[in-house]
């Protein structure tokens, strides 16, 4: 089979892992930059052209769409979907997952535990917004932050108000979330492929740091999920419509709390930690769906 990986950087670990897994299973694997794809459409006909070359004769695409390329990346994925090419990532699910506000709205409305969150667009109700959170310290997150960038711990109301007023003046929308003290700077990443849990790791922040991202020097190790955590992770993925995703959760006194459902999770940390060939499971997911549709 011929599989296409959409990635801006073919040298990235995740991209390379997927390419190598596909080649080990006998497939033709190619990487192209989705931001350099031209989308051509006319009545009853859609085409993708990459650097002057018509891209056709591929049975599946594996999108690796970064945060800075979400909208155009989703358009490219949609184009392939409409051409009848199987995709491991649905374009609507990508757009849904990348919007932190709508993601939390959906999860909360469907009964999934999340840290209590307040969002306000009114600069004159900063104090009231903090009061409605219930307690401090609080986590203040930029709506478009990633890898722990734009995530700040405000330990008292005065600091929190100052930060929120600054972000309002800069026209940056933020989320205010309760700080889960009992998590002790740790979260759990659950990797899901086709509604199956394929890898689990706990990420632990360095001493004095509350962000557990491996990009920020956090450590990782294998853990086991409780039944409630496993059910919650899979339900969160289904709500977001994601077949391949990373579900990030906290362990709290109220049970598992979902932080984010990542539509394009990195594979390096979890494959290195768990020693599981997750990229191979993604390739198998493509194989199963392509074969089913033949």
CATH (domain of 211): 3.30.470.20
Closest to 158 in 3D by CA, of 126, 181, 122: 126
Q: What distance in Å separates the CA atoms of residue 288 and residue 73, rounded to the nearest whole number?
A: 24
Q: Tell which of 126, 154, 179 closes a domain.
A: 179
What is the domain range of residue 58?
2-89+282-292
pLDDT of the chain, 294 residues: tens digit per residue: 999 999 999 999 999 999 999 999 999 999 999 999 999 999 999 999 999 999 999 999 999 999 889 999 999 999 999 999 999 999 999 999 999 999 999 999 999 999 999 888 887 788 888 888 888 888 888 877 666 677 888 888 888 888 888 888 888 888 888 988 888 888 999 999 999 999 999 988 776 555 555 555 578 899 999 999 999 999 999 999 999 999 999 999 999 999 999 999 999 999 999 999 999 999 999 999 998 776
Residues 108 and 238 in one domain: yes
Please tell me whether residues 214 and 171 are part of one structural domain. no
Q: What is the DSSP string of 187-231?
A: EEEEEEETTEEEEEEEEEPPTT-----GGGT-EEE-----HHHHH
| Rounded alpha-carbon distances, angstroms, from residue 262 to 61, 97, 239, 266 | 18, 7, 13, 9
pTM above 0.75, yes or no: yes
162 Cβ contact partners less than 8 Å away, ≥ 6 residues apart = none
Task: Say yes or no: 209 and 254 in one domain.
Answer: yes
Q: Do 43 and 56 belong together in one domain?
A: yes
Domain CATH number, residue 41 = 3.40.50.20
104/227 same-domain check: yes
Within-domain flag for 275: no
């Amino acid at each position: 089979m011929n599989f296409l990986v959409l990635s801006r950087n073919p040298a990235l670990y995740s991209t390379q892992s997927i390419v190598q897994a596909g080649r080990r299973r006998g497939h033709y694997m190619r990487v192209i930059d989705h931001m350099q794809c031209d989308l051509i459409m006319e009545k009853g006909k859609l085409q993708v052209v990459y650097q002057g070359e018509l891209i056709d004769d591929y049975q599946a695409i594996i999108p690796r769409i970064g945060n800075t390329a979400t909208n155009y990346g989703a358009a490219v994925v949609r184009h392939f979907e409409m051409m009848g090419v199987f995709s491991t990532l649905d374009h609507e699910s990508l757009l849904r997952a990348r919007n932190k506000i709508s993601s939390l709205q959906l999860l909360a409305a469907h009964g999934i535990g999340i840290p209590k969150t307040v969002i306000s667009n009114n600069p004159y109700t900063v104090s009231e917004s903090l009061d409605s959170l219930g307690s401090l310290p609080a986590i203040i997150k930029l709506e478009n932050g990633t890898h722990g960038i734009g995530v700040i711990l405000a330990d008292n109301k005065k600091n929190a108000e100052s930060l929120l007023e600054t972000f309002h003046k800069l026209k940056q929308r933020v989320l205010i979330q309760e700080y889960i003290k009992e998590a002790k700077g740790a979260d759990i990443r659950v990797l899901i492929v086709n509604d199956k849990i394929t890898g689990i790791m706990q990420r632990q922040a360095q001493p004095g740091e509350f962000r557990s991202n491996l990009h920020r020097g956090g450590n990782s190790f294998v853990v086991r999920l409780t039944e409630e955590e496993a059910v919650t992770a899979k339900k969160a993925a289904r709500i977001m419509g994601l077949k391949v995703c990373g579900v990030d959760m906290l362990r709290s006194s109220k049970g598992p709390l979902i932080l984010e459902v990542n539509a394009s999770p990195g594979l390096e940390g979890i494959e290195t930690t768990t020693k599981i060939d997750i990229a191979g499971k993604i390739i198998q997911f493509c194989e199963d769906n392509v074969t089913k549709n033949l």
